[in-house]
Amino acid sequence: AVMLGSKGSGSRFDEAMKGGGPTGVYVVVADVDAHHRRAVEHGAEILMPPTDQDYGSRDYMARDLEGNVWSFGTYAPEVRG
């Protein structure tokens, strides 16, 4: 799953997005800690280390070489049909 988030919620995401584009990308991954380790090994700029969130997800944030903010985590909302 991939989710897009907007600036303006007053969250840590807003702080990370200063100077960036209008949206950031959230990618659901199975193992946040392993994904984070690989990102660090490849020189990613980590904006927030893996953190347990109050909504039940474990997430981290990174910035790519073009300044885009990416969030990776275990949050997977229910899809209602």
Give the CATH number for residue 39: 3.30.720.110
Domain of residue 35 covers 2-73
What is the percent of the chain with per-residue pLDDT over 90, rounded to a whole number?
Answer: 44
* pLDDT surpasses 80 at 33: yes
* pLDDT surpasses 60 at 14: yes
Q: How many domains does the chain have?
A: 1
pLDDT score, position 18: 66
End-to-end CA distance of the chain: 16
Q: Which residues contact 57 (CB under 8 A, 6 or more apart)?
A: 73, 74, 75
Task: Give a yes or no: residue 81 inside a domain.
Answer: no
